[in-house]
Amino acid sequence: MSQATKDRILATALDLFNRFGFVNVRLQLIADEAHLSVGNLAYHFANKDALVETIYHRLAQAQQASLANLVKTPLFEALDRYLAEAFALQAKYSFFYLDTLEMLRAYPTVKHDYRQQARWQITQMAQLLQFNVARGALQPESQPGLHQQLAQHYWHSTELWRHQQRLLGQPSPSWAEFRAAAWALLMPHFTPMGQQEYEALPG
């Protein structure tokens, strides 16, 4: 029952953070929505910081699992699935993607973990690019370090895409737009084989 209560609190907090922004949500509101007393909520999570950090770590674990699956089979079809999973995570944890800077300012532990996670993701993406060069789907680097820069730009563009869309006045981003924007970064680097493989992707 304890784990079920924790899960209910986390689900309620996540929903409220997404609806109102994490800054505007107090423990009392979370307790009311979860049909608990504040004391009962505090038994499971001492404060709002503990809630936010737990939710972020669940997001990070989901990101790691998704990228680990991609690294096992780093083909274009697997990358397309990875993008779909990334888009779903951004929708599920939208408050974090929309308020990333505020989150990192407010929670030093999250900032530390987020930066480590980002570096790991960029490294994995650079290795994925190198693998696809080796199998003939992407062109070799035209200058040293280009793929590392591309991996960093790819992470930046996909990770902050939802926030960028809000800044541009597009509050309801679509999967098709996200997918097109991500693949557009790689298209200039396709070989003829890579172009054919991309065009054969479903959807």
Query: How does pLDDT run across 60-80, given as a tens digit for each residue?
Result: 999 999 999 998 888 999 999
What are residue 201's phi and psi, to 5 degrees?
-65, 140
Is residue 118 within 8 Å of residue 155, measured between CB atoms? yes
- Residue 171 is predicted with a pLDDT of 73
Per-residue model confidence (pLDDT) at position 163: 87
Q: What is the pLDDT of residue 129?
A: 95
**pLDDT tens digits for range 26-44:** 999 999 999 999 999 999 9
The predicted pLDDT at position 172 comes to 78
pLDDT for residue 54:
96
Q: Which two tokens stand for residue 178?
A: 């996200």
Q: Which domains does the chain have, with CATH numbers?
A: 1-46 (1.10.10.60), 52-199 (1.10.357.10)
pLDDT at 173: 81
CB atoms within 10 A of CB 179: 17
Mean pLDDT per 10-residue interval, the chain, length 203 residues: 89 97 94 95 93 95 93 92 96 93 92 95 94 96 94 94 87 89 96 97 86
What pLDDT, on the 0 to 100 scale, is given for residue 169? 87
Rounded Cα gap, residues 108 and 150, in angstroms: 28
